[in-house]
Amino acid sequence: MRKLNALIAGSTGYIGVQLVKLLVRHKNVNIKYLCGNTSVGKKLSFFDKSLKSKKLPKIINYNNKLLKNVDLIFTALPNGEAQAISKNLLKTNTLIDLAADFRLKKSSEYFRWYKQKHKAIYNIKKSIYALPEITGKKVTNYNIIGCPGCYPTSVLLPLIPLIQKKSISTKNIIIDSKSGYSGAGRGIHKKHKKEILNESLSAYGLGFHRHNSEIDQELKDSTKSKINFIFTPHLVPMFRGILSTIYVNLRPGYSIKKIQFILKQFHKKNRFVKILNNNSLISTNDVVNSNNCFISVCQTKYKNKVIILSAIDNLIKGGSGQAIQNMNLKFGFDKNEGLR
């Protein structure tokens, strides 16, 4: 089988570098172009020394002429930039976006949450919001693939199966998520001193974090009714990893054992989602540097309430690994290729 030629735009950010580290191990992909703005002429090993021994092209500026030489375009760019690239795609190109440009199905919602007009509205209908364990092979019908955000990934993997089975109340779902500061990108170092990042826990985006929009969109799609939830994200003093703590009310007739059974049945063929024994206390250390999502259902002092713990690596399962999962599904590669 011929290797697919890939271009990575935004290759020097945390997710871009992590994507390259995974793709260099993928037997079906050849990294043809690495693109950046302020890093033109540099090697990617400047940003990650573990890539020093890898044969990689030097970083260049992106231009549309490059599209004729590649099959795949991965975009890990600031919001809005993948939209511009999408307008120039050739029929032979597949765009996999790791930012938010093709996560929302309505341009009005994109403007509401991201405060910028969508530059490729006609491409929204040609794209798919692709959470691999949920959308599966539907990605084969699309050449523009929007990968979910990191927080929503940790939230939707446990909640969608339970909402579809009508096992939990869709009212008063409380989502408390904590992420390593890499989720904010390299720019966070310009805003905060290193000692603050390493020693401080902070809440942000209370009630209005952008990921509210896609959590709401996908939960509504799974049940076709209104979902009532509160989502609060936090930055914690570590580099990578997300732990989401989700508080839900059980519907009559459901118990903690039945909740675990539903999750196990739904994800039994999903290699990267691990449903642990009930009341397992999980941490980000369990999943860091992997494409796994660990989920545990925990009891509370109230019989009709449970706590769901969900942990992922925001740079892999919440970003680059998920993009590779979607690529593997799109082109019929081994599901585990590049992610073992």
| Residues catalogued as catalytic | 150
Question: How many angstroms separate the CA atoms of 94 and 126, rounded?
Answer: 11
Q: Kindly provide the b/e burial profile for residues 124-151, where b requires at least 16 CB atoms within 10 angstroms of the residue's own CB.
A: beebbbbbbbbbeeebeebbbbbbbbbb
Quick one: tokens of 243? 């732990």
Dihedral of CA atoms 328, 310, 316, 61 in degrees, nearest 10, equals 100
H, E, C per residue of 194-251: HHHHHHCCEECCCCCCCHHHHHHHHHHHHHCCCCCEEEEEEEECCCCCEEEEEEEEEC
Question: Angle CA(14)–CA(89)–CA(67) in degrees, nearest 5?
Answer: 70
Buried b (16+ CB within 10 A) or exposed e, 81-106: bbbebbeebeeebbbbbbbbbbbbbe
Q: For 49, which DSSP code?
A: G
- Structural contact between residues 86 and 101, judged by C-beta atoms closer than 8 angstroms: yes
Euclidean distance between CA atoms 284 and 275, whole angstroms: 15
